[in-house]
Amino acid sequence: MLARVAACAALFLLSPVCSGMDGSTALPRPQAAAFVAQQPAPDVPRLDTPVENQTAPQRDAYVATPIARAEPADTGAAMSNERQIERPRSREPEPFGLNAKPVAAGEILTKWSGVVAEIRADDEVLARCREGASCPSAARRFLAIIDEGRARNGRARIGIINRAINLAIIPTSDVAQWGVADRWSAPLETFTTRRGDCEDYAIAKYVALRAAGVAEEDVKLVVVRDTAAEENHAMVAVRLDGGWIILDNRSLALVRDNEMSWATPLLVLDDNGVRQFVAPGSIAKLQEIAPGSF
């Protein structure tokens, strides 16, 4: 794994993350594959979800309408203050057992910073819902998943949230839904349209797990290179019992990071920003990649 990461960092980081999909076709789940050298990649990576092997149930026709953002509550209370945090048993390294180097600039960091701001706005809408104020239907659906997860602990909590969000969203490419190559959505936008691609599933799980009580330092959004499908893919990593479990929108299974032989780790995202995975001794290699190319 460490050798693959060192060899692949410069080649894969700039590749598109997940190919476009509209939920109409399925691919078999990726199997282990040997590394194949990639052609030079475009300057900007995109998070466009691959064709899913598990399509969410068909929903009624929807109308994508903007969500009215509520003003902050006078008390300043946020959803994060209500969370019953599950504290980690021990401090473990990043997912996949790798070091990670901060990304200081670039489009990935800009997109993630924008989503973090939208998540904060969503938190205020959810807080108003908790207080009994008028609540959008998208927020009610998302809160129901959070509450279902909060009622359980450990692996059961993680599994409930993974399953519920996988089945709540119809896999749809950004081109099909928005007419653009790459758009990252906060949970309430995704739950309004009920459609999204790989990073939209991952962002919704990231927020729901934290709101349901998983400690902030125990939830990460990760981007990997799927060497079987030859594309990049966004998922969520959750720390549990001294290791990391990976949540994939293409499966209901909860898989350990060390069991994902088809995945080459690229990026990890959380409240601390964006970091690039690097194998030990490969920090110098990272300096060869210009920050603006992310």
DSSP letter string, 115-135: HHHHHHHHHHHHHHHHTTS--
Bridge partners (DSSP) listed for residue 270: 273
Task: Say whether pLDDT at 119 is over 60.
Answer: yes
How far is the C-alpha of 171 from the C-alpha of 177, rounded, in Å? 10
* pLDDT digit string, tens, across residues 219-232: 999 999 999 988 88
Confidence of residue 291 (pLDDT cuts 50, 70, 90): very low
Identify the residue with better confidence: 98 or 33. 98
| Proportion of the chain above pLDDT 70, given as a percent | 64
Domain extents for the chain? 85-289
* pLDDT digit string, tens, across residues 100-109: 999 999 999 9
CA distances from 187 to 27, 51, 123, 143, 171 (A): 26, 21, 10, 11, 14
Task: Say whether pLDDT at 286 is over 70.
Answer: no
Has domain 85-289 been given CATH number 3.10.620.30? yes
Two structure tokens written together for 236:
């969520």
pLDDT of residue 112: 97
Confidence of residue 145 (pLDDT cuts 50, 70, 90): very high
- pLDDT, mean over the chain: 76
Task: Say whether pLDDT at 144 is over 70.
Answer: yes
For residues 203-207, average pLDDT: 98
For residues 12-21, average pLDDT: 49
